[in-house]
Amino acid sequence: MIKKVILAAMLAASLGSFVTPTFADRGVRVAPPPPREEVIVDRRGHVWVPGHWEYKNGKYKWKKGHLVKARRGYHYAEPRWIERDGRWYREGGAWRRGDRDGDGVPNRADRAPDNPRRQ
């Protein structure tokens, strides 16, 4: 009897953990509007995450830009919309490795003299 109760509880818990995909995960047929202009706030030790469009409940909604604390050795890849096969998919923003000098510019694109090069 106890085994059946435990098994039922485990089954119920696992069913609750399924995630339903959002519209943007399945692709959206209508292209997002152009990005809005924002005033970029500059603050030492922080990175500006630009605003972007999110697709929820059948329409686009603007999410304002904001500051996040910088992570040494990483750069922030901003969220963006990509078209594939006539549908639009959103790639979320994320921290990515590859910023040795901590200036927020990825190593592959950084040409500043303060970016140490590996020999």
Summarised one tens digit per residue, pLDDT across range 41-56 is 889 999 999 999 999 9
**Nearest partner of 71 among 93, 31, 99, 35, judged by Cα:** 99
What pLDDT is stored for residue 76 in this prediction? Answer: 86
* pLDDT tens readout for residues 61-113: 999 999 999 888 888 888 999 999 999 999 988 888 877 666 767 777 777 76
Model pTM?
Answer: 0.59
* pLDDT tens readout for residues 10-22: 555 544 433 334 4
The Cα–Cα gap between 94 and 40 comes to 19
What pLDDT is stored for residue 60 in this prediction? Answer: 94
